Structures are given as C-alpha cells and as structure tokens.
Amino acid sequence: MTGKSPFEALSVETLAARLGANEALCSHIGKDTARWKVREVGDGNLNLVFIVEGTTGAAVVKQALPYVRLVGDSWPLPLKRSFFEYHALTRQQARAPGSVPAIYHFDEGQALIIMEYLSPHIILRRALIEGRQLPNIARDIGLFMARTLFRGSDLSMATKDRKADLALFADNVELCDITENLVFSDPYFDAKLNRHTSPQLDRIVAELRADRDLKVEAQRLKHIFAANAETLLHGDLHSGSIMVTDSETRMIDPEFAFYGPIAFDVGMLLANFWMAFFSQRGHEQSGKRDAMRAYLLDVTVETWSVFRSEFSHLWRTERTGMLYQKSLFEDQGDRLGAEQALDQMLQQVWTDMLGFAGVEVHRRILGLAHNADFETIADADLRATCEAKALKFGRHIAVNRRQIHSIDEVNTLATLIERENRI
C-alpha cells in the first residue's frame, strides 16, 4: 500500500491483506499474515485503532477517519490530523525520550500510523476508576510536561526552527476548532451536541449558563488559548490519553497538537485527576475510597511540584532560545534577575492552569465528550451528585484563579466540596 492510493478505511477483515507487504509492520510481528490476529479496540471519539498480533510480536495500527467517529459522517473531519499526530509524537520522543510509543511507519495518504503495542499497559482513566494507586504517574507526567513544553518553546528552540514548526502545526485548524468550541463555549449555552445528567443537573446547568463572571472568564481563557502560541502542546492530555503500568507511563494520541499556552496541557491533565477525585464516591461498591481520594490529591501535588522543579531546572540549564537570554542576566552576573523572570512565568502558568482546569471539568460533564469516571456510575442520582460537586469546584477555580496561591489551597477546596451533603 502506498500513500498514493485512494483513502480506504481499514477493517478487521481487510487489514492483513492491505498491510501484509508493509515491511515495518512485518519486521515487528512476522510476515505470515495467515497467522495474524487483528482486533479493533478503538474506544475514542475520532479514530480506528487495531491491535495486530503475529508470530514474532504485536503492533498498533491507528487510522484517522474522515469524520468524527463519536458523531458519525454528519461531522466531517480532515484526515490530516494523523499527520499532526505523527509529527507531534516524533517531537515528544526527542524532547522526552521514552515517554511515547515508538513509531514504526507513517502513511500520510491512508492517514495511518503503525506504532509500538504497549502491553501490559492500560488506560490511566480505567486504572483510576478501578482504584489503582500507581506510584510513578505524577513524576512521569510532570517530567513529560516540563520537558516537552519547555523544549518546544522559544525558551529553548532556535528561532528559525520554532517558527517553521509553528507554521506546520498552525494548519491543525479543525481540531483546534473542536477545542475552541467544545471546551470554552458549548458548555455555557444550549449547544446542539451538549448533554448532561438530566433532570438532576438541570438547575445547576441553568445557573452556569446565566453566570456572567464564569462566561467572561471562559472567553478570556479561550482568548489565551487562541492567542498565546508559546509552545507545542499535546493538546488533549488527559487520563484517557495516558497508558500505564505500575512502573511505566506513556502518553498517546497527540493529534490535537498545536502551538498554544504552556498552561493548557497542565490544566487539562490536573483537571482529570480532580474529576477522578470527585467521581470516587460513585465507585465505592466494594468499599470506601477514602485512601484513593487522598492518593489522587497527592498526585496533583506531586505532578505540579515535579513540573515546576523540572521546568525550573531546564530554565537554568537549557535556556538557549531567544527569550530571557543569559546575555541579559547570568552573563552579567545577574542570576537573581533570571530567577525573577522564572518566578513570574511560573506564576502565570499557575494562574492560567487553574482556569483551563476549571473549564475542562465543565465541558466533560456538560458538553459532547464525557469522562468514563462519571459515566460509569450507573446510579443517575449518585452520578449527578458527584458531577454537581465537580461543577462547583470547576467554577470556583476558573473564576477565582487569581486569588488562589497554592495547590494545597485547591485541594482543601476540593475536599470541602466533596464532603458537602447537598449541592
């Protein structure tokens, strides 16, 4: 198969015949296609994902579709998103080695990527729903974010290279449009594809849609998202885009990659830990989850601490781009000036991160794409109680983010809201 062939979606039945001559795939799983086992495992919103097992190994084949899979062909979407995912993965591997799956082959015409099969990894969100306390995720994710976000910015990259990269990813228009609408606007009015737990949340939804301060802040965050092309983002970093074992953490699915604010990935990621925290009461069929709730809050503390520490380390050792040049500070014996600039940057990241986290909570409960953390709670009343508390939390950190000064303060708020009997 070549990139010049007309696009055709793969299926379990056709994959072996169409990819049987692919050298990259055969070299990893074996050439005997008659013994290949193919299964489709894509449970995401956009793409086809196959696990292909052969006589010598296994691989993943991921193929974009010309529409949003969650909705159907009534919502067309360009195949070029696989191009951006491929290029994002190669950059993430270079900037944070070992943090993403290895890429074996990319076919732009067929919008498919053949990559490493991660086993026995499972999706992080599933692990958290099951109540697993993974020891390394905070450190691994904090390092990944710091390294990719710093090294993909004007703090580190040569100006020419960074501007060329900015131009390349600027064409990821349609996926940015999804984020711009689904995250920042749709939750706050009666958008066509919205859904929520009804009638239980109807009153709260009406209040949020009438909340002028919240809507102004959501649009301010949308403005920051659209205007601050600080670094190459993963663009969709959440607990469903991370695969884990007890000893390893890998980030996947960066097809939403684009140049945006450093705080965006951090906020999206931490929001998912806070949502997992609020969902735990809905997963207590086999016993109380107090220890799991404490673990999740500890993960937010450690993730932010590791991110901040590693970002600061890279600032001091790899600041070779055009911003905050050492010729203005360290080379003149003014190390404290460089530290002052670093503190100001991290403070801005902190403030914006809280805002992005708040609106991410709202869109995952009120918009199109929901989280399994809440969706797998079968009792609608119990699910709505968990969701209502998360919505209240999200509203507070988005609107009041400039007056919140520490992760402990955020987690104290989360704990107080979670313990409330009524919302």
The pLDDT tens digits for 347-384 are 999 999 999 999 999 999 999 999 999 999 999 999 99
Asked if residue 277 lies in contact with residue 296, where contact means CB atoms within 8 angstroms, the answer is yes
pLDDT tens-digit readout, 23-34: 999 999 999 999
Asked if residue 238 lies in contact with residue 268, where contact means CB atoms within 8 angstroms, the answer is yes
Q: CB 11: neighbour CB atoms within 10 A? A: 12
Q: Inform me whether the pLDDT recorded for 1 exceeds 60.
A: no
Q: CB 143: neighbour CB atoms within 10 A? A: 19
Under 8 Å CB-to-CB from 318, ≥6 apart: which residues?
A: 150, 151, 155, 156
* Per-residue pLDDT at 241: 96
Only one residue has tokens 């997992």, namely: 276
Mean pLDDT value across the chain: 96
DSSP state of 204: H
Q: Report the C-alpha gap between 423 and 20 in whole angstroms.
A: 57
pLDDT tens-digit readout, 230-285: 999 999 999 999 999 999 999 999 999 999 999 999 999 999 999 999 999 999 99
List the structure tokens of 310: 């590693």
Under 8 Å CB-to-CB from 150, ≥6 apart: which residues?
A: 156, 231, 311, 314, 315, 318
